Amino acid sequence: MSLPAWSGAFEDLSTVRALPLPGDAREWAWGGSTGAGIKVAVVDSGVDGGHPAVGGVDGYVATVPDPDSESGVRFVDGKHDDLVGHGTACAGIIRSLAPDVEIYSVRVLGENLKGKGALFLAGIEWAIDNGMDVVNMSLSSKSPNLFGPLHDVADDAYFGNTVLVCAANNAPGPTYPSQFASVVSVAATSGQDPYTLAYNPNPPVEFAAIGIDIEVPWTGGSIVATGNSFAAPHVAGLTALIRAKHPDLTAFQVKAVLHAASQNAR
């Protein structure tokens, strides 16, 4: 048995038949791209913009509980810290692949276990409403109560041309929005090549990138860590490269390009 969940699905992968792209698929998809002009939201624990691996953050917003508002959530602009280090890891990974993207930290992990679902939901909505091209979510919810609201917001993103990249939960079982068809779902596979990309012909988890025992940026330096969390930002970074190079592609076309650029695609 091997975990993070879904990692095993990417061992001994069968070949998948992809739409033909001109020439080398990967070269066509992101060759020469730096991600310039693309806005990437990191929905997480906050981002340490001063971390050398992150290289600056272009915008910050934090979701906080607000019993007086209709949604129960208030947005707080302005620089914030990374409460854990996890969001900094994700942002640093994205920056390593797409050096010229604009990174926005959307902090949805607060200081209380109660009401965290509403903060998560509001963070995704903020990213869509503020024109993010790519959203990295290295977290998901197991709550059945959030299935409907997260499904709706994932559809809003899909039709609004925001690509949601979601890590599968490290533990088995359904989580949202990672297993919705409208998102790009990601699990971790072994290796050290940051451009590793594979497609699983037996979804719901569709893509894999590296995320097992890899060195990642963290508050105060770096750590060696394992998790689907660290695979998702690799795919978010590649997605940003694709979007910068091919700005006219829709969300579902971007997924088709990721499919075609997977190493088990023919």
Partner 1 sequence: MTMAVELQAAVSVIRELFGAAACSCALATEDGAALRFVAADGAGAAGIIGVTLPVGRGIAGWVALTGQPIAVGDVSRDERFARDIAEATEYVPTSILAAPLLDPEGETIGVIEVLDPLRGDDQSALGGQRGTGAELAALTVLASQVSSVVRLSGMVDSVPGVPPELVPALAALTSMGDGGVRLAREVLESAATYVRGVR
Residues at the contact surface with partner 1, assessed by CB under 8 A: 1-4, 7, 45, 83-86, 109-114, 116, 139-145, 169-172, 212-213, 218-227, 229
Nearest distance, CB of residue 139 and partner 1, angstroms? 4
Eight-class DSSP state of 177:
T
Smaller CB distance to partner 1: residue 161 or 191?
A: 191
- Look up residue 193 and give its amino acid: D
Q: Give CA separation, 205 vs 30, 79, 252, in Å.
A: 23, 34, 16
Catalytic option among 80, 86, 234, 259: 86
Q: Quote the least distance from Cβ 56 to partner 1, whole Å.
A: 20
Identify whether 246 is a catalytic site residue: no
Residues 6+ apart with CB under 8 A from 94: 40, 42, 101, 103, 136, 233, 236, 237, 240
Query: Could you tell me the two tokens for 94?
Result: 């994205």
Cβ proximity to partner 1: between 33 and 185 the closer is: 185
For residues 217 and 128, is the Cβ–Cβ distance under 8 A? no
Sheet holding 207-210, edge to edge: 73-77, 59-65, 102-107, 39-44, 134-137, 163-167, 184-189, 207-210, 198-199
Token pair, residue 141, equals: 């919810």
170 versus 196: smaller Cβ distance to partner 1:
170
* Smallest separation, CB 203 to partner 1 (Å): 20
Measured from the CB atom, is 8 or 160 closer to partner 1? 8
Measured between alpha carbons, how far is 159 from 34 in angstroms, rounded to an integer? 25
User: For residues 80 and 95, which CB has a smaller minimum distance to partner 1 in the complex?
Assistant: 80
Q: Does the annotation mark 229 as catalytic?
A: yes
CB of 226 vs partner 1, minimal distance in Å: 4
- What is the per-residue DSSP string for 87-147? HHHHHHHHHHH-TT-EEEEEE---S-STTHHHHHHHHHHHHHHTT-SEEEE---B--GGGH
Catalytic residue chosen out of the listed positions 45, 229, 234, 262: 229
Query: Catalytic: which of 33, 44, 105, 222?
Result: 44
Catalytic site includes residue 44:
yes
Q: What's the closest the beta carbon of residue 201 comes to partner 1, in angstroms?
A: 22
Q: Which residues does the annotation mark as catalytic?
A: 44, 86, 229
